Structure 1
Amino acid sequence: MASQVADPYGLSKQVDELTAQMMARRHGMSVVCLRYPYVGGFEERLLAHAARLTADPAAGARDLWTYLEVHDAARAALLALDVPGPAAHTVHLCAPEIIVPHPTEELLRRYHPTTVLRRPLPGRTAPVDTSAARRLLGFTAQNLLGQGAVTPQ
């Protein structure tokens, strides 16, 4: 059963993913639904976004303070094109650490107090399960923000 959605954006994602499942079944297609966080280049968007959310962490609570650099986002899309079918997959993507300089567990306790943690999230660990991206696509984000500067890998 599909999860309950709380807004039109979430509903549109759920409908798209159900459509992908139907197309995989009916037409033998391979479909990978990529769930992106906040995406941008370091110069034009991510550093400014990091500064905004550092000043006001509440503004990032809905997206769990996650991000992905645009080149990593494009690489994930290219990798998704090679996934064999027939099947439909939903894959969450993000950098392994959150964009703000605050401990993840502290932020979750403050802004999502009813959330039950299923695993420890030490330091600034992103609270998103990206294991399907690693398993299915061989994807791990490589372009990371670090201490206010780009740390290319």
Structure 2
Amino acid sequence: MSETAVVTGGLGRAGRWVVDAFAERGYETVCVDLDHPGWEISPRENVDFRAADLADAAEAFDLFADLGPDAVAHLAALPAPERHAGNRVFATNTESTYNVLTAAGRAGARVAWASSESAYGFPFAREKTLPDELPITEDHELRPEDPYGLSKVVGEETAARTARRYDVPVVSVRPSWVQHPGDYNCTGNRDDIAAGAGNFWSYVDARDLASLFVAAVEPDAVTGHEAVNGVAAENYMDRPTADVVEEFFGELPADCTLEGEQSALSPAKARRLLDWEPEHTWRDAADADVETPSLYE
């Protein structure tokens, strides 16, 4: 019998790739979002839909009790601190993450959820500062100033608590700036070096992010709670990363081992722990003609 996977935020731009990856892997995949696409829509094979406000505990717990998932990928969130009032961003993200992870833990599910590179505190800081190390590993201190990054730090503490409380594996995935094949917005920043300084000119392809979520919930992938960066192997600036950092900041951190165009956020832990490799780069993906996965027949 195939396993059931729940993907929250599955109708989102990145979420569709994650739903597609789980369905292709053979999971009976339930796409959960605020809205249902409509009863007139016929879902593709291995995909079904549910509408729920996951910040509402009653809806989240009832849904997960009904579905009884084996694996959960939680992507639903307000995705930035600048589009809504800060308290709404923080409350929505922390409450929905608590509800989903707790419901998943009670179901005994393997969990991966979308934290963020914003947890480190650099993308939305008022003043751009150097990290303590380059490349940035998962051991770097988390020091956000904004409500979005803060919600991700609280979410990671919730993830660790879920693993302890329910003895389920939980992976906090820290994606970089998500790019989509044929639509790599990041490459437009090359002439404005300041535009990418907040995440040190890093990115991740949506297809690689999707494969990372699948890898993170494979049986026996991890025990307890782990955080991993979800990032491409190199920057999008087409020149050595250390040169770009030094040009913008005027210096490099004392702990700097960057080589060539190596990403400023390290994917090494995800490689080691999950046997995951970022396969796509801006060189082959920026102008690629690849259709977004359809979740319908």
TM-score by length of 2: 0.45
Matched, 1:35 2:174: yes
Please name the residue that 1:56 is paired with.
192
Q: Distance in 2 between matches of 1:8 and 1:102?
A: 33
Matched, 1:145 2:289: no
- What is the CA deviation profile of residues 127-150 of structure 1, one whole-angstrom value per residue up to 9, with x for unaligned ones? 112221011111110111228666
For residue 107 of structure 1, give the secondary structure of its aligned residue in structure 2: helix
Distance apart, 1:112 and its partner CA: 3.6
Pick 1 or 2: higher relative contact order, CA cutoff 8 A, min separation 6. 1
Please name the residue that 1:87 is paired with.
224
Q: Distance in 1 between matches of 2:252 and 2:219?
A: 33
| Structure-2 change in CA distance of 1:119 and 1:40 (3 Å) | same
Please name the residue that 1:78 is paired with.
214
- The count of aligned residue pairs is 146
Please name the residue that 1:103 is paired with.
240
- Where does the alignment leave 5 or more consecutive residues of structure 1 unmatched? none
Q: Distance in 1 between matches of 2:151 and 2:191?
A: 31
| Structure-2 change in CA distance of 1:102 and 1:12 (3 Å) | same
- What is the CA deviation profile of residues 1-52 of structure 1, one whole-angstrom value per residue up to 9, with x for unaligned ones? x633222122111000000000101110110010101112221x21x321x2
Q: Distance in 2 between matches of 1:125 and 1:30?
A: 30
**Which amino acid in the other structure matches residue 181 of structure 2?**
F
**Which amino acid in the other structure matches residue 100 of structure 1?**
M
Distance apart, 1:120 and its partner CA: 2.6
**Which amino acid in the other structure matches residue 19 of structure 1?**
T
Please name the residue that 2:159 is paired with.
20
Q: Distance in 2 between matches of 1:61 and 1:83?
A: 37
| Structure-2 change in CA distance of 1:25 and 1:97 (3 Å) | same
Distance apart, 1:119 and its partner CA: 3.8
| Structure-2 change in CA distance of 1:114 and 1:10 (3 Å) | farther
CA contact (8 A) 2:234 2:263 kept: yes
For residue 55 of structure 1, give the secondary structure of its aligned residue in structure 2: coil
Q: Which structure: greater helix fraction?
A: 1
Please name the residue that 2:266 is paired with.
129
Please name the residue that 1:116 is paired with.
253
Q: Distance in 1 between matches of 2:190 and 2:219?
A: 37
| Structure-2 change in CA distance of 1:86 and 1:142 (3 Å) | closer
Please name the residue that 2:143 is paired with.
4
**Which amino acid in the other structure matches residue 41 of structure 1?**
H
TM-score by length of 1: 0.84
**Which amino acid in the other structure matches residue 201 of structure 2?**
W
For residue 269 of structure 2, give the secondary structure of its aligned residue in structure 1: helix
**Which amino acid in the other structure matches residue 275 of structure 2?**
G
Distance apart, 1:102 and its partner CA: 2.8
Distance apart, 1:115 and its partner CA: 4.8
**Which amino acid in the other structure matches residue 49 of structure 1?**
C
Stretch of structure 1 that moved more, 67-76 or 109-118: 109-118
Please name the residue that 1:67 is paired with.
203
Q: Distance in 1 between matches of 2:235 and 2:143?
A: 26
| Structure-2 change in CA distance of 1:12 and 1:83 (3 Å) | farther
